[in-house]
Amino acid sequence: MDARTQTSFIAALLCFALAASVLLRTQRQRDRWLFGILATNTGLWYVSTFMLGVVGRVPFWERFNLICGVLLPLSAVRFFGVMVPWETGRTRFLRRASVVAAVVLLGAMLTPFYDHAVVGGGLLLYVTVFLSLALGYLYKLGFETESRVEGARLRYIALVGGFGGLFTLIEYLPYVGLDIPPVGTILILVFLYALSRSITHYRLIDLYELAGRLGVLTALAFVLAFILWLMRLVSGEQLFLHVVVSAFVVLILFDPVRTKVQEWISQVFFHERFELERTILALRRSVAHILEIDELGEVLVAGLDASPRFTQGALYLLGPDARVFILKNHFGPKPAERVEMAPARPLIDRLSRTGTAVLENAERELEERRLLGDDREAETAHDIAVTMRALQASVCLGLRGESGHLYGFLAVRDDRLRDAFSREEVQLLAGLATQVAVTVENSQLYQQMKEKDRLAALGEMAAGLAHEIRNPLGSIKASAQYLSETSEQPEGRGEFLDIIVDEVDRLNRVVSSFLDYARPPHTDPEPIYVNSAVQLTLQFLRPECDSAEVDLHITMDPDLPKVRIDIEHLRQVLINLVQNAVQAMASGGDIYVETRTQDRFRIGGGARRWVQISVRDTGPGMAPNLLANLFVPFVTTKQQGTGLGLSISQRIVSEAGGRIEVRSRQGFGTTFVVLLPAEPDSALDGFEAEQDPGQSSEPDGTGARLEPAEP
């Protein structure tokens, strides 16, 4: 059996496999059927070539081989015609002319002169002319289509088809008496494989995946060939055991070789796709740890905006009334603020059902449904396309929960290309949308837990308030009853009146503190210098610290940025923290106050700056059960305290966009840390510039010692 016969048998099997892989898909559209016919026709041509090599020049197989040779270009022209986005007069003429020429040649095959050189020459001319016209026209249309990607896809198919057609002509040369080795078979098979990918992946035949698979297959083929050659070199003969061992080696190496080859190809030839994968992976990791919706929107939009693959994007979340989607965050040109549920129903249903909607797919589906006469599905595709154009989105990704509930959607676009995202890239984005949906669900659960905690704290606060009010009311009632029941002026009348006044003052303090907590005064804060507020507050607290035998140590960073907070509110927070520290150290001790900056990096580059104020004491520390309820109103260990100081401080810092953290161990003291967001692009603190020119940063009349805090 010669090389052509063996190659024809293998090629026939591969052609049938390619036809089956496309026809067995669920979406049996016209281009898939035509490709199946083309691949099957090519396989039958190779089968007849194989049979001619096995049984010799039998008239039946010779005629069958020629008939397949005539039908092969005809099926190729029909297939290339369906790849054109629209039908023109040229495509109709080319299709009809190829049918007429094929009928003439098929008629010649049925005559006794089927093996004449004239018939063979006519067949070769027929193949050359019609394949060249079809591929040339396809290449020309690649420059006329509106979509750059679609145009590149058509030109790519035409170029690959040109190489495949060239080697197909070489395979036809034996018909005119030129018997050459079957050098064109491999490229014809590669061409068919590329065409099969082009109709299942609507983006430049998805070169990323195609190159990756071909690279992996090539690497593994060389590994297999090397192992077989090495074993035969050692043993001197080819055994079945060698093939089994080689197959096991290939199976073991498949996953690591595939990973390395695809990674290398993606980095070298598909840099943008590789960077997109890295961006999506980083975003998925970032949003997985977020519990606040506001932070989720900022991180998501910042990460997508940092990628060169997106020119605009928007995050929409379902409104409270569940009838409208509201714009949460966006980058690029501002889209619509609201998306009403009723007019966008087809898009919402598509996102709820499949999770993704692609504008180009909707437009393509619209044309296909119109051709099939399916008006209802065509109208749905039209409505989806209209809504997505209004949103300025090329891809919409639904944020679907585990229950199928749609919490919102993410709309992205790259306006540099009409169809900028491949099917695999859309799936990458769909994975990100799934992670965002999980984060939204977790955020809602977190808000529900916070609401439960708030209600629980409200109950505890009400109980504490009732307890705080009951005691002075009892004293007032008893004193008033005693005075009212005595007709004459009782002895010690002034003492009872003093009790009433003191208890009324106590009630006033409790109620005032409660009102401060429940309704903190709203002001219009301005950027302030933290160091100035800290120095002024500690100067006020210095005498109290000295009388309690507490040493105050201060370390201030002179380069602090400004923060936006009411200065009197900040001083109130510092007074609460320092006084708590003083009262915790009944036998005296040390308090360390420090100011400095803290930078935290964010996704997409850059860092957010914070100003940190820490107050550390050397007191006895706090028990874990007290730490858990430290900021709950009316929880206190003091005899005369209301338990609202830390709650009010936390409320003040939260309104400024910051937070209070606490660290404490029994026997090792307590540290309170106040974190406030720095003003963007604010100048340095200028603390030294605000001091009196005659003063320095050394200890002055305030008595504050500016020295490093102990570790």
pLDDT in tens, 246-273: 777 777 777 777 677 666 655 555 556 6
Sheet of 589-601, strand order: 659-664, 670-677, 607-617, 589-601, 550-556, 705-706
Q: What is the pLDDT of residue 1?
A: 56
CA angle 157, 274, 335 (to 5 degrees): 90
CATH number of 449-518: 1.10.287.130
Q: What is the pLDDT of residue 501?
A: 72
The predicted model gives 168-192 an average pLDDT of 63
Q: Could you give the CA distance from residue 651 to residue 79 in angstroms, rounded to a whole number? A: 70
Is 3-202's fold the same as 287-446's? no
The number of angstroms, rounded, from the C-alpha of 602 to the middle of its chain's C-alpha atoms is: 15
* CA–CA separation, 317 and 326 (whole Å): 5
Predicted confidence (pLDDT) at residue 438 exceeds the cutoff of 60: yes
What is the H or E stretch that residue 141 is in?
A: helix 117-141
Across the range 10-29, mean pLDDT stands at 78
Q: How many CB atoms sit inside 10 A of residue 292's CB?
A: 13
What's the whole-number average pLDDT of the chain?
Answer: 76
CB count in 10 Å sphere of residue 175: 19
Measured distance CA(589)–CA(552) in Å, rounded: 9
CA distances from 576 to 11, 258, 515, 582, 672 (A): 85, 63, 17, 10, 11
| For the chain, domain boundaries | 3-202, 207-269, 287-446, 449-518, 527-706
- Weakest mean pLDDT among 151-155, 279-283, 608-612, 663-667: 151-155
Whether pLDDT at 359 is above 70? yes
Provide, rounded to the nearest whole percent, the portion of the chain with pLDDT above 90: 11
Tokens of 664: 């404490």
Higher-pLDDT residue of 128 and 264 is: 128
- Single out the residue of 314, 338, 329 nearest to residue 411, CA to CA: 314
700 or 415: which carries more pLDDT confidence? 415
d(CA 61, CA 5): 14
- Between 704 and 620, the more confident residue is 620
Q: What is the pLDDT of residue 79?
A: 76
Whether residue 611 has pLDDT greater than 90? yes
Q: Which residue has the higher pLDDT, 490 or 134?
A: 134
Residue type present at position 248:
F
pLDDT tens digits, residue range 396-411?
A: 999 988 777 899 999 9
Which of 25-34, 81-90, 587-596 reaches the highest mean pLDDT?
Answer: 587-596
Long-range contacts formed by 359-367: CB under 8 A, 24+ apart:
359/385, 359/388, 359/389, 359/393, 359/394, 359/395, 359/419, 360/147, 360/202, 360/394, 360/418, 360/419, 361/202, 362/388, 364/202
Per-residue confidence band for 458, with pLDDT thresholds at 50, 70 and 90: low
The predicted structure's pLDDT at residue 317:
92
Nearest to 317 by CA among 299, 294, 333: 294
Domain 287-446 architecture: 2-Layer Sandwich (3.30)
Contact (Cβ atoms closer than 8 angstroms) between residue 494 and residue 466: no
Rounded Cα distance between 270 and 585, Å, is: 65
* CATH code for the part of the protein at 527-706: 3.30.565.10
Q: What share of the chain is helix, strand, coil (3-state, %, to 5)?
A: 60, 15, 25
Q: What is the pLDDT of residue 276?
A: 80
710 confidence band (pLDDT: 50, 70, 90): very low
Which of 569, 567, 534 has its CA nearest to residue 552?
Answer: 534
Half-sphere exposure in the Cβ direction for 511 (13 Å, CA): 10
Q: How far does Cα 60 stand from its chain's mean position?
A: 61
Give pLDDT tens digits for 656-695: 888 898 988 888 899 999 999 888 765 444 433 333 333 3
| pLDDT given for residue 183 in this prediction | 54
pTM, full prediction: 0.44
Among 55-64, 141-150, 332-341, 363-372, name the one with the lowest average pLDDT: 141-150
In the DSSP assignment, the letter for residue 329 is E
Q: Which of 260-274, 325-339, 530-544 has the lowest mean pLDDT?
A: 260-274
Using the predicted structure, report yes or no on whether residue 207 has a pLDDT greater than 80: no
E-strand ranges in 414-455 read none
Choosing among 3.40.50.720, 3.30.70.2080, 3.30.565.10, 1.20.1070.10, the CATH entry for 3-202 is 1.20.1070.10
